[in-house]
Amino acid sequence: MTKGEIKALISLLDDSDYEVALHVEKQIEELGEGIIPFLEEEWEETLNSDLQKKIEDLIHNLQYDGLGRRLREWKDKGAHDLIEGMYLVNSYLYPDVDLASISKALDQLYFDAWTQMKDEMHPYDQVKTLNNVLFREKRFSANTKNFHSPANSMLHLVLESKRGNPLTLCVIYLTLAQRLKMPVYGVNLPNLFILTYKLDGMQFYINVYNKGLILSKADIDNYILQLNLNPIDIFYEPCANLDIVKRALRNLAFSFEKMDDPEKATEVNKLLDALTDEDMPI
């Protein structure tokens, strides 16, 4: 369609004939995310608040459907890039934030950590050095005051505010550690996401939410015992990037539930279904 044809189509959104307006909405949805700039232009030009609301809903639906497709594509490609997956979670609330800005912030943190790493450091010293950069110099910390805020699941906001939940803080730490050639991976503990350093028979754990506190297997045993759970491998061993992004979506859905926003919670759970069930429509 030409630009003129698209603008003519959008102008029919507020047609007095309900059937015409409904047909136009369906046509616009079929055109996909590429039509969003034209919708935004119409929103700016009209003074009709009802039409503005209709355009806002259309833009959201187009972005939401596109996000579902990109999440499925990320999974189907092997879910190799954790930051890309977290960026897609970020896109639910902030579709205009680009991956490059997130990568740039992580690049700077990596450089600052890399300058302090020395050759042949003991694993504990590597962890302590990274802890010093993130928690002392850069002042990253747990967002205990607003633990259930959706902002804690938005990676670009955590990088800006330096406050986050266990998962997003772990994602930042994990990304830097792996770029520094440290064998650090995520661990899906109940109620608390942590990291593990695992190489050549040596394994210990890192509680990033507590400023990188080093934990032993016995500490994990005690934690699981306190929760009255049976110790299973998933509580001790590295998890996949896909598991981390699924948990990020669950955290986000739970945040919306705590904020009494069931509509957003339902939408996020549908995104989670798209990563969980091959046949689940988005």
**Which residues neighbour 212 within 8 Å (Cβ) at sequence distance 6 or greater?**
127, 128, 130, 131, 134, 135, 173, 206
The strand pair at 213-215 and 192-199 is best described as unpaired
Q: Is residue 28 a contact partner of residue 11, using CB atoms and an 8 Å limit?
A: no
Q: Is residue 253 a contact partner of residue 265, using CB atoms and an 8 Å limit?
A: yes
Residue 186 has pLDDT above 90, yes or no: yes
Residue 222 has pLDDT above 80, yes or no: yes
Banded model confidence at residue 277, pLDDT cuts 50, 70, 90: low
Q: Where are the alpha helices (DSSP H) in 36-193?
A: 36-45, 49-76, 82-91, 99-114, 123-131, 155-161, 166-179
Q: What percent of the chain has pLDDT over 90?
A: 73
DSSP string, 24-37: HHHHHHHH-GGGHH
Residue 10 has pLDDT above 80, yes or no: no
The whole-angstrom separation of Cα 232 and Cα 141 is 29
**Which residues neighbour 240 within 8 Å (Cβ) at sequence distance 6 or greater?**
79
What pLDDT sits at residue 282? 34
Considering only 18-22, 99-103, 127-131, 145-149, which range has the smallest mean pLDDT?
Answer: 18-22
Residue 119 has pLDDT above 90, yes or no: no
The strand pair at 141-142 and 163-164 is best described as parallel
Q: Which residue has the higher pLDDT, 131 or 37?
A: 131
Residue 162 has pLDDT above 60, yes or no: yes
Residue 126 has pLDDT above 80, yes or no: yes
What pLDDT sits at residue 38? 86
